[in-house]
């Protein structure tokens, strides 16, 4: 008899439910419901999994309690390590802007090492929710608007977190969340219902999760929200039938925080007994912080709503995960002290990731890089080290972060740098505006550090007006009125695209810094001084007005495309259809010209493919890196098709240098869900497009044929 079989046979019902229960520690607060009696529950076997414990000593102490229980089953310890543990990397939306899966994998690998050194076994990441609505605060945690990018992110993060094998002393079990379509809530409001078509599920929201499963992700977390009136925590069709059945996932499904009990609020369960039964029957193995399995399943058994086989199946999955993590063989294999050399290398990676995540949105008159001279640094985010962490900063602390002001002062020790916050991030106090604007008189260039606090994005942080909060707009007005023709550069810190068209129009240069992480100031200094060239691209379309939202490049064609000559076409009366900045937009200190797009052969069967190449020449005065995007569009199909991203690649060129970027495009990757939502290969003409963004005016095109 196997170890798992023996344990299941020996367990009481309480001990089985303990393996299906996850309670919280006190190292982080990630929900409203807290659990008392944690130590006693662990020691009795009534709690088998814990989140929000950080620190090797705390982890070992909790594990010792578990090993003193009757069956000595080790604990599974998890934490939300979304973009770093103690060393904080850019928020995922920002890191996506690098468009480099190797970088994404590297930061996840280092986060896993750091988390494992703190005694942890799993992370509730990556978040794979495609999001096209910047009002939604959790857009910060994902990879933006495109499912192809989401698939690439899924593969990279799962590989980084889990390493070569789950039982490694420096690996964490990854968790693909939030399954699925959580990133499309009604009105951009967190936890709200989701209404998407079955086609949208297959084309947009499910592919990143399928990629995570193919990469071997150990666990999956369902979304808080409902689809078509069915909450994901009780959605047998999407969990049991599709995820477990069609896709073959046999790993652990863990609920989100208190989500099972919230089935009562959804109106699909009358009490915790029904809620627990619905979740278990749907395929959820671990109840996080609802206590629903502990309180509800005994009565559900008596009512015949579930069977002991249902419970045993879930327990076996949890025990198998613990076995795969090596916890039975050595429950203390994770936890230890890392060397100063390792920590220094990790900080350097954080600096590289931050440098490559910051997008240069505008640079009129070569305002950047900065010329020598006196610099006025103004704004509430200039010296806000803690806010550089962004949302979900795990065990990161503010004192470990470098603010923009500190980074500039370190990089320019002999240059005069004047500073004033001007206003607070959110308050209505305008008393500091005059002093901030007055610095313009003494400066040769002005740097405005504006945006959101770390607490303004992430979970439960939806914004109906995602612009500059507080009195920051008034500060901008005062500075621009006083600047007198001097260069004004705005740095936007945020967890989302901010709707600030007026600001963008009035300043000379704009950087989207997102929340860059612990090395924020040093990375910004590298870019502002020209020690590095910006190379990031925005992974979401940047709206010019809230009324455009959701705005994204992959819209299907309409029968009445916008035309200024025809009133009865699809357009706004008051703003252009196009976003302020398209998906993939980003400038460099180079100037790249695209020529010679080729796609060979000119036709291919399903088992074959195409090679697409394009030549780039850096006509600018500085070396720079350029990201090239490959799109396709099915010209005539049985289902109307949008322009779709099929690849991206990066090239670095010296001034005057030319180079070629090539893509391999499999013909089978041009399939799409047919009328029955199954993959359909359809012969016909395919438009191939390549260029620096999703702006059709800047894309070169060629045509090939599927046969």
**256 catalytically annotated:** yes
In the prediction, which pLDDT does 394 show? 86
The C-alpha R_g of the chain, in whole angstroms, comes to 26
In the prediction, which pLDDT does 27 show? 62
Task: Go through the chain and tell me how many residues it has.
Answer: 707
- Cβ partners under 8 Å of residue 485, min gap 6: none
Q: Give me the catalytic one of 100, 118, 129, 256.
A: 256
Round to whole Å and give the CA distance between 519 and 344: 12
In the prediction, which pLDDT does 1 show? 79
- Cβ partners under 8 Å of residue 86, min gap 6: 114, 118, 394, 395, 396, 397, 400
User: How many other β-carbons are positioned within 10 Å of the β-carbon of residue 563?
Assistant: 11
Round to whole Å and give the CA distance between 136 and 134: 5
Q: Give the DSSP letter of residue 32.
A: S
460 SS3 class:
coil
Q: pTM value?
A: 0.97
Q: Judge if the upstream peptide bond of residue 414 is cis by omega within 30 degrees of 0.
A: no
Nearest to 707 by CA among 687, 685, 679, 678: 685
In the prediction, which pLDDT does 34 show? 43
- Per DSSP, helices labelled H in 325-432 are 340-357, 404-411
3-state SS of 574-597?
Answer: CCCCCCCECCCCCECCCCEEEEEE
Domains parsed from the chain with CATH numbers: 79-324 (3.20.20.300), 354-548 (3.40.50.1700), 592-706 (2.60.40.10)
pLDDT average per 10 residues of sequence, the chain (707 residues)? 95 98 78 66 96 92 96 98 98 98 98 97 98 98 98 98 95 98 97 96 98 98 97 98 98 98 98 98 98 98 98 98 97 94 97 98 98 97 98 93 98 97 97 98 98 97 98 98 96 98 98 98 98 98 97 97 96 97 98 98 97 98 97 97 98 98 98 97 98 98 98
In the prediction, which pLDDT does 28 show? 57
Nearest to 288 by CA among 48, 604, 620, 594: 48
Cβ 23 vs Cβ 38: under 8 Å: yes
């Amino acid at each position: 008899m196997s170890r798992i079989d023996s344990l299941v046979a020996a367990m009481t019902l309480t001990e089985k439910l303990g393996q299906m229960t996850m309670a919280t520690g006190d190292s982080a607060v990630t929900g409203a419901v807290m659990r008392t009696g944690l130590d006693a529950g662990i020691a009795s076997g009534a709690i088998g999994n814990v989140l929000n414990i950080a620190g090797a000593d705390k982890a070992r102490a909790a594990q010792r309690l578990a090993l003193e229980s009757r069956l000595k089953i080790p604990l599974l310890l998890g934490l939300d390590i979304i973009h770093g543990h103690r060393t904080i990397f850019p928020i995922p939306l920002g890191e996506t802007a690098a468009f480099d899966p190797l970088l994404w994998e590297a930061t996840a690998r280092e986060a896993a090492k750091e988390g494992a050194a703190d005694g942890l076994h799993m992370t509730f990441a990556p978040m794979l929710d495609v999001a096209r609505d910047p009002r939604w605060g959790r857009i910060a945690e994902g990879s933006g608007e495109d499912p192809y990018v989401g698939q690439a992110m899924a593969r990279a993060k799962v590989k980084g977190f889990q390493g070569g094998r789950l039982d490694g002393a420096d690996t964490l079990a990854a968790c693909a969340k939030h399954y699925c379509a959580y990133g499309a809530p009604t009105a951009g409001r967190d936890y709200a219902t989701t209404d998407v078509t079955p086609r949208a599920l297959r084309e947009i929201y499910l592919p990143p999760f399928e990629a995570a499963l193919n990469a071997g992700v150990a666990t999956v977390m369902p979304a808080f929200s409902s689809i078509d009136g069915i909450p994901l925590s009780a959605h047998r069709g999407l969990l049991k039938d599709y995820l477990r059945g069609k896709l073959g996932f046999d790993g652990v499904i863990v609920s989100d925080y208190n989500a099972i009990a919230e089935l009562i609020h959804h109106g699909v369960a009358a009490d915790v007994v029904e809620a627990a039964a619905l979740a278990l029957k749907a395929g959820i193995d671990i109840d996080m912080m609802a206590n629903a399995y502990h309180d509800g399943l005994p009565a559900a058994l008596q009512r015949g709503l579930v069977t002991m086989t249902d419970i045993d199946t879930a327990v076996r999955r949890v025990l198998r995960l613990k076995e795969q993590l090596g916890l039975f063989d050595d429950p203390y294999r994770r936890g230890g002290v890392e060397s100063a050399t390792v920590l220094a290398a990790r900080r350097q990676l954080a600096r590289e990731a931050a440098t490559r995540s910051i997008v240069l949105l505008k640079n009129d008159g070569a305002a950047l890089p900065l010329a020598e001279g006196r610099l006025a640094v103004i704004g509430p985010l200039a010296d806000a080290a803690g806010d550089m962490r962004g949302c979900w900063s795990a065990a990161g602390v503010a004192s470990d972060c470098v603010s923009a002001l500190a980074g500039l002062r370190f990089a320019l020790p002999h240059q005069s740098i004047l500073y004033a916050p001007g206003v607070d991030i959110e308050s209505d106090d305008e008393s500091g505006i005059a002093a901030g604007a007055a610095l313009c008189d003494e400066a040769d260039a002005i740097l405005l550090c504006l945006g959101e606090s770390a607490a303004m994005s992430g979970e439960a942080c939806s914004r109906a007006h995602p612009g500059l909060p507080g009195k920051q707009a008034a500060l901008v007005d005062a500075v621009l009125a006083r600047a007198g023709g001097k260069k004004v550069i705005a740095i936007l810190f945020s967890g989302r695209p901010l709707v600030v068209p007026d600001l963008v129009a009035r300043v000379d240069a704009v950087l989207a810094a997102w929340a860059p992480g612990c090395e924020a100031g040093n990375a910004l200094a590298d870019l502002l001084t020209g020690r590095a060239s910006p190379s990031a691209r925005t992974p979401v379309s940047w709206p010019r007005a809230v009324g455009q939202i959701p705005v994204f490049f992959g819209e299907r064609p309409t029968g009445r495309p916008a035309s200024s000559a025809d009133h009865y076409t699809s357009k706004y009366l008051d703003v252009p259809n196009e976003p302020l900045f398209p998906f993939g937009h980003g400038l460099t200190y180079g100037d790249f010209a695209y020529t010679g797009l080729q796609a060979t052969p000119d036709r291919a069967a399903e088992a074959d493919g195409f090679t697409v190449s394009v030549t780039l020449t850096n006509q600018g005065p500085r070396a720079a890196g350029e990201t090239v995007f490959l799109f396709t569009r099915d010209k005539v199909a049985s289902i109307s098709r949008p322009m779709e991203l099929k690849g991206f690649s990066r090239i670095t060129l010296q001034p005057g240098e030319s180079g070629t970027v090539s893509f391999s495009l499999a013909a089978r990757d041009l399939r799409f869900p047919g009328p029955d939502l199954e993959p359909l290969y359809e012969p016909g003409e395919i438009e191939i497009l390549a260029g620096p963004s999703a702006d059709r005016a800047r894309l070169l095109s060629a045509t090939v044929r599927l046969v």
